[in-house]
Amino acid sequence: MRDVTAGGAGHDPSGEVPLSLLDPGPDGGRRGGIYVLAVSDEPDEALVANPARVRSVDLIVACGDLPFDYLGALMNALNVPLVFVPGNHDPDLSGYRTSRAGLTLRAGIPVRAPWPDGAVNADGRVVDVAGLRIAGLGGCLRYSAGPNQYTDRQLARRAMVLRARARRHRPRRGGGMDGGVDSGVDSGVDLLITHAPPRRAGDGDDPPHWGFTALHGLAGALRPTLLLHGHVHPCAGSVRPVQLQSGTRVVNVTGSHRIWIGPRVAVPDPRGGDPGAR
The answer to whether residue 27 scores a pLDDT higher than 50 is no
| Per-residue pLDDT tens over the stretch 39-48 | 999 999 888 8
Q: Where are the domains of the chain?
A: 31-261
In angstroms and rounded to an integer, the radius of gyration of the C-alpha atoms of the chain is 17
Highest mean pLDDT range out of 10-14, 170-174, 219-223, 232-236? 219-223
| Per-residue pLDDT tens over the stretch 38-75 | 999 999 988 888 888 888 899 999 999 999 999 999 99
Positive or negative torsion for Cα 155, 160, 165, 171: positive
* C-alpha dihedral, 54 to 56 to 59 to 64, nearest 10°: -10
The answer to whether residue 122 scores a pLDDT higher than 90 is yes
The answer to whether residue 169 scores a pLDDT higher than 70 is yes
Q: What is the DSSP letter of 20?
A: S
The answer to whether residue 178 scores a pLDDT higher than 80 is no
Burial grade of 274 (CB within 10 A; 0-12, 13-18, 19 or more): exposed
Whole-number percent of the chain with pLDDT over 90:
50
Give 34's strand partners.
261
The CATH code for residues 31-261 is 3.60.21.10
pTM beyond 0.85, yes or no: no
The pLDDT score that the predictor gives to residue 261 is 86
- The amino acid that residue 170 corresponds to is R
Contact 254, 234 (CB under 8 A): yes
